[in-house]
Homo-oligomer: A and B are copies of this chain.
Amino acid sequence: MSEINQAPIGVFDSGVGGLTVAREIMRNLPNEEIVYFGDTARVPYGSKSKETVLRYARQIERFLRTQNVKAIVIACNTASAMALEELTAEIDIPIIGVIEPGARVAAGTTKNKRVGVIATAATIGSETYTRCLKQLDPEIEVLDKACPLLCPLVEEGWLKDPVTDEVIHRYLESLLQQDIDTLILGCTHYPLLRSNMQKAVGKEVTLVNPAYETAVELGRLLEKEGIANQGNREGKPCHSFFVSDAEQRFNDFANTILPLDVTSTKQINIEEY
């Protein structure tokens, strides 16, 4: 197996949310090594402009290249919406975001062609999910809603909490009234609220978690490009984690999400890239 097959996958997010994508990659592609970057000094991206998020994404891409990654996953819906197109045109290694994989599954799932999307204000404002879904099937009606309070609620740890359920109910009410049968969880934090969401929308609505679909898509892409890791390394893959702010809070959160102990996260100054 050549050197490039053994190179790591770069995975980045505005903070900790992308760990739900990293988790799916670890589960589904257990031979692949991950270099994760969380931009914890500038989190969140979801309330910021395209220009700013694109500038941040370019800095992160330059950092990840110093780690010799063979492919990049933008494990953040906002950054996928704001920067995937530009980065794809600018770099010479495979790069995928979380939006297209999620949209593809939703398009294949919906029966009544009414798909709901919940995400940050920036992702919703970009209309990337809508464009993606319409491209896959022009008959699909997209009903979307920005949910700025859900990330703070997850980060505060109020997962099983009546306040969170009430906020979810408030955000989803208008989508449900419009008879959606499929709901895309368009922010990497939202899978952590999956059971609350399912309770709010009822069994008839299918929830789509782009994290899982992204991992599957990544696997296909690596195979197609002939750069998948075939797994003849010695021992388990050794993932590494980088952040732009202090490591401790990131490690605490990571250890509640990932099936491994994260202890050696390194802090870097991302503004230098």
**A residues with CB within 8 A of B:** 40-43, 47-49, 51-52, 148-149, 152-153, 155-156, 158, 163, 166-167, 170, 244-246, 249, 271
A39 to B: closest C-beta gap in Å: 10
Residue from B41, B49, B153 in contact with A42 in the complex, judged by beta carbons closer than 8 Å:
B41
A36 to B: closest C-beta gap in Å: 19
A153 to B: closest C-beta gap in Å: 7
Known contacts A148-B156, A155-B148: A49-B271 contact under CB 8 Å: no
A116 to B: closest C-beta gap in Å: 19
A98 to B: closest C-beta gap in Å: 22
In the complex, chain B residues whose CB is within 8 Å of the CB of A49: 245-246
In the complex, chain B residues whose CB is within 8 Å of the CB of A158: 149
A212 to B: closest C-beta gap in Å: 27
Report the Cα distance A170→B40, complex, angstroms: 27
Report the Cα distance A158→B271, complex, angstroms: 34
Residue from B40, B52, B149 in contact with A156 in the complex, judged by beta carbons closer than 8 Å:
B149
A81 to B: closest C-beta gap in Å: 15
Report the Cα distance A246→B148, complex, angstroms: 18
In the complex, chain B residues whose CB is within 8 Å of the CB of A170: 163
In the complex, chain B residues whose CB is within 8 Å of the CB of A47: 43, 155, 249
Residue from B52, B149, B166, B246 in contact with A152 in the complex, judged by beta carbons closer than 8 Å:
B149
